[in-house]
Structure 1
Amino acid sequence: MKNLSQHKAPIMEALNNFKQMRVVPFDVPGHKRGRGNEELTAFLGEKAMAVDVNSMKPLDNLCHPVSVIREAEQLAAEAFGAKHAFFMVNGTTSAVQSMVMTACKAGEKIIMPRNVHRSAINALILSGAVPVYVNPGVNRELGIPLGMAVEDVKQAILDHPDAKAILINNPTYYGICSNLKALTELAHEHGMLVLVDEAHGTHFYFNDALPISAMAADADMASVSMHKSGGSLTQSSFLLINNEISEGYTRQIINLTQTTSGSYLLLSSLDISRKNLSLNGQEIFRKVAEMAQYTRDEINKIGGYYAFSKELCNGDTIYDFDITKLSVHTLNIGLAGVEVYDILRDEYEIQIEFGDIGNLLAYISVGDRRLDLERLVSALAEIKRRYQKDKSGLFDHEYITPQVVATPQAAFYAPKEKLPIHDSAGRIASEFVMAYPPGIPILAPGEMITKEILSYIQYCKDKGSFMTGTEDSNIEYINVLKESEQ
């Protein structure tokens, strides 16, 4: 292996060299460096179009990298403390699916919390792996699912000693962290692999004051959304492997579903962002944490809102908290989080990450300015003054423990019928229902539909949550298993 320097960005450097070669393109893409699509070039810029190119010898090949992409992978692995890092251009969804499919074959069990992102359950549909769900802890006051209790995972391992792996969300969308080190050691003691969905934890690798990262905790695989807090372009992520996970086999699994036409815009954005974080991450995320804390303090001075942080830590289901996350509970002003989300966007031109029934999340990053944070605080104060009402009648919790009747794959592909959703109680779902973001299913294929779940779905719709998952785009009908299949 050549000497690595985190000051290098091999993919970017190869693209710059390529631009100077004045190559005549008789290959794809057909826009030919932008000349064939003037409107798109005017919109995106000549510089972007000039590097939207195809794989070729000077630029390497994502499916089987041997030169510049290979070197960029090695630099990323060093930066993240991993054995190897794969560049993912189908998003962290693809990375999560690749983790599950690398660890588990059809019929093999995987232990996971039920509040996983839909990509993890999609991986079960694709692979035929069988979930063993551990219900997360729940904070009833805030209405949010927490991490997995160590004792609950230990019991799941004892009940299912043949499970191949355990999947852990770390952190959750809200910033909640499980006891990652203890869970990893527990799984390894029983011969199970540890897979970590770190979609919201890129920054853990680059600042010592933040919670422990998956690789530092000795996990076997982690999927990292570099585009969320790491600064790369949307849809670009890393899949990290560690310990005895095979690089070659993992790449074969990735290549089952990842595009063979990897975008060099995405690849170079990963390469450049890794360089930036490896050189400047400590200071970048010190500033981000400082901005988040300032905003938390100001919001809590308003009254009614509760911007929560490390004071929630309990040593188990909230083992640690991501202090860069600005999560705010809104129910005490009589408004659902999604209602505040809509008011901020529609009346104040402030776009936050998401709002659910009880909370909202503003994503703070190095790109934010103090002036913008003050504008958010002022808007929240004004919303409270203008719209505050009695909180009675609001849902007091977010997470409903599902009744799992069939595996996701069996239910998704089973003979099914379409019912009006309000008539579906007592039947088994054959598809998802979820609010997006965050994309955590309220119902997943194979789960019993209950009156409680239906009430919650209707409540989400009434409050304006963006609902998705069903074939019916209006979520008025739902596919269920035929009676003979139940």
Structure 2
Amino acid sequence: MDQRSAPIYEALERLRAERIVHFDVPGHKGGRGNKELTEFLGEKCLKADVNSMKPLDNLNHPVSVIKDAQLLAAEAFGAHSCFFIVNGTTAAVQAMVMSACKAGEKILMPRNVHISAINALILSGAVPVYIDPGIDKRLGIALGMSVDDVKRGIEENPDAKAILVNNPTYYGICSNLKEIVQLAHNHNMLVLVDEAHGTHFYFGENMPVSAMRAGADMASVSMHKTGGSLTQSSLLLCGENVNSNYVRQIIGLTQTTSASYLLLTSLDLARKNLSLNGKEIINRTVELAEYARKEINSLGGYYAFSRELVNNDNIYDFDVTKLSVNTRDTGLTGIEVYDILRDEYGIQVEFGDLCNILAIVSAGDRAMEIERLISALYEIKRLYSREPAGMLDYNYINPHVVYTPQKAFYSSKKMMPLKCSKGEVSGEFVMAYPPGIPILAPGERITEEIIDYIFYAKDKGSLLMGTQDMKLENILVVEG
């Protein structure tokens, strides 16, 4: 196939030239019905926001231009088939889990998964078997999946249908994906990869192995994160052993029937750009990230970590495009540095947690902006650093699972003060967003350690969500 082609984009351009009179949705009629929105987004953007019609195909049953665009993407990513997702990578993760597991069937996964994976368990009724990813005490982060732990999990649960792997994690940690795939396939289990932060693995040089190259069965890829498409657009990649027609039906359970052509076109053009220019784009990204890492480490107090962490076990590889910076030696939590960068220096990083910040670097950044970040971190250390006494040194707590997420979520529940909930079983989520990894999930025992962690995170300024009580003073617990 010709990777220079962009079938959806080209179809939209043809449609625009035909000057069709529209008596269909959307009601803004190419922007004429909403002047302020048109002035904000631009007339060309509003005219491209159209409804499914024969010349533009239909995402739920693609037979022409969307089908061609998905085939091009499958080829570019080395997949057997590909689905365009417009409900975010959340929908792609849920489709993977729901395609692989039915109610009551087991799935092996690390507990530091994104909330979308646990939500998929609530929707499907699949039963999680959590594999402890381990913690780096210095960095306070959960790591990857150890092959030995995966092997043990398979041996103890030979009836499991699938294994879900985060690769890379938000912080750039990668597991030994090839060996995990081989282990799983030897036991007739599918391998699902949450590859939300790994789009660039398919196009850069000297990158960690991609899910499709490792032989995984499905991978969810956030094209909007590092691939250049619009926010909320994503891909679901499938290997040759997956029934793609069944996967399409599963996607249809949760994905909109009114797909945005702005999102679809952005996926089409982002794939084209990566196919033609990906190597140069990723090389430039690595160059900027490595320079920033070196300079930040020279400041003292911060630790911008990289491949020196690799231990060929639960840190099998590292994504060097990730500018993850540990802040503990400055006496400041990551969320405190995050807030100061935004409020006082006009710099927005991806997130701050209790120990780290993450700055997303891409070829779209400029050297002067990298220098501005480095200078700001120096100033923050000079003005705000303090002794790190009393700081928490972890971002992950290994859970005590009492009930499956689905059973707990749909059970009879009662509200009670969080501070008095020790020993109860949670009936809802508590998580810091970003990154969206639950501190507490439905069905897990509430411990004193978890309560202390939540109040500490609140005090430091983390955005905590997931509970019905928006102030997170109370929590729903399972009755009985």
Give yes or no for TM over 0.5: yes
Residue of structure 2 in register with 1:183 after alignment: 180
Give the counterpart of 1:79 among 73, 76, 84. Answer: 76
The separation in 1 between residues aligned to 2:193 and 2:301, in whole angstroms, is 35
Q: Deviation per CA, 1:105-140, whole angstroms, max 9, x where unpaired?
A: 011000000000000000000000000000102101
Secondary structure class of the residue paired with 1:167: strand
Percentage of pairs with the same residue: 67
The separation in 2 between residues aligned to 1:25 and 1:477, in whole angstroms, is 51
The reply to whether residue 106 of structure 1 matches residue 103 of structure 2 is yes
Residue of structure 2 in register with 1:198 after alignment: 195
Q: Deviation per CA, 1:30-79, whole angstroms, max 9, x where unpaired?
A: 11111111111111110100010000000000000000000000000000
Q: What does 1:58-457 correspond to in 2, within 5 Å?
A: 58-457=55-454
Secondary structure class of the residue paired with 2:336: helix
Report how many aligned residue pairs link the two structures: 480
Residue type of the alignment partner of 1:308: F
Residue type of the alignment partner of 1:91: G
Residue of structure 1 in register with 2:50 after alignment: 53
The reply to whether residue 5 of structure 1 matches residue 2 of structure 2 is yes
Residue type of the alignment partner of 1:83: H
Secondary structure class of the residue paired with 1:302: coil
Residue of structure 2 in register with 1:469 after alignment: 466
Q: Deviation per CA, 1:301-358, whole angstroms, max 9, x where unpaired?
A: 1011000000000001000000000000000010000000000000000000000000
Secondary structure class of the residue paired with 2:298: helix
Residue type of the alignment partner of 2:49: D
Deviation at 1:243, TM superposition (A): 2.1
Deviation at 1:15, TM superposition (A): 0.2
Secondary structure class of the residue paired with 1:326: strand
| Structure 2: tracts of 5 or more residues without a match | none
The separation in 2 between residues aligned to 1:81 and 1:190, in whole angstroms, is 24
Deviation at 1:371, TM superposition (A): 0.2
Give the root-mean-square deviation of aligned CA atoms.
Answer: 0.5
The separation in 1 between residues aligned to 2:18 and 2:418, in whole angstroms, is 60
Deviation at 1:366, TM superposition (A): 1.4
Secondary structure class of the residue paired with 1:332: helix
Residue of structure 2 in register with 1:41 after alignment: 38
The separation in 2 between residues aligned to 1:468 and 1:370, in whole angstroms, is 35
Deviation at 1:207, TM superposition (A): 1.1
Deviation at 1:272, TM superposition (A): 0.1
Residue type of the alignment partner of 2:5: K
Secondary structure class of the residue paired with 1:238: strand
Deviation at 1:208, TM superposition (A): 2.6
Residue type of the alignment partner of 1:26: F
Relative to the length of structure 1, the TM-score reads 0.98
The separation in 1 between residues aligned to 2:202 and 2:471, in whole angstroms, is 41
The answer to whether the 8 Å contact 2:205/2:283 transfers is no
Runs of 4+ more than 2 Å apart: none
Secondary structure class of the residue paired with 2:237: strand
Residue of structure 1 in register with 2:18 after alignment: 21
The answer to whether the 8 Å contact 2:430/2:440 transfers is yes
